[in-house]
Chain A
Amino acid sequence: GAVVSQHPSRVICKSGTSVKIECRSLDFQATTMFWYRQFPKQSLMLMATSNEGSKATYEQGVEKDKFLINHASLTLSTLTVTSAHPEDSSFYICSANNGGLNNEQFFGPGTRLTVL
């Protein structure tokens, strides 16, 4: 149980285009979803916390108009990278929290974004 999927697994796009990444909890309802970014050989950095039906909470330094997050249901959150530039190229990972006692987060397999 507790499977989280992401789609697409990798995407290559031209500079200036927008890219949408989906994060789904497959067998549980996620009260909260989180979006992380990971640059090569670095750790995960939290970008934003997404709660169903409300606006996302962004971490300091993350542009909310650049990284649009929509959490329309308890099983789906989307991250849209708007007007992508080469410096946005990164590995984007989502996680979902089922609200359990231990706050265990279940991670998706990640999306590799390359902006040309």
Chain B
Amino acid sequence: SQQGEEDPQALSIQEGENATMNCSYKTSINNLQWYRQNSGRGLVHLILIRSNEREKHSGRLRVTLDTSKKSSSLLITASRAADTASYFCATDATGTASKLTFGTGTRLQVTL
């Protein structure tokens, strides 16, 4: 399977703490994207990082990309209960006609 791996599979933190999720992939990529999914709902695009970028910020989100290690991390700072969701990384591999390959996902639970 070409599916990427994410860890941890599940993460439980208290409101105000930071949450870090990691994603590893297997092929060369054009870009890597992070998505959020609330239970039983569609996906919301969070951030895209290109293969020539190493770090990107968007509000409370910080994404890093290390193409030499084929890995990425998503940091959510000052988490809120509303951040509770599943988070997926998705890679746009070179030569795959724009197909995205999703990681296994991290289920984040933020408690009050």
Contact = CB atoms under 8 A, between A and B. Distances in A.
Interface of A: 6, 32, 34, 41-46, 49, 57, 91, 93, 95, 97, 102-110, 112
Interface residues of B, number: 25
Give chain B's interface secondary structure class: strand
A112 B45 contact: no
Contacts of B31: 102-103
B42 A110 contact: yes
Given A102-B48, A103-B98, A105-B100, A112 B33 contact: no
Give chain A's interface secondary structure class: strand
B98 A108 contact: no
A99 to B, nearest CB: 9
Contact of A103 (B41, B42, B92, B101): B92
A105 B44 CA distance: 10
Contacts of A107: 35, 42-45
Given A34-B100, A46-B99, A46-B100, A104 B45 contact: yes
B40 interface: yes
B98 A97 contact: yes
B43 A93 contact: yes
B102 interface: yes
A93 B102 CA distance: 13
Contacts of B99: 34, 46, 49
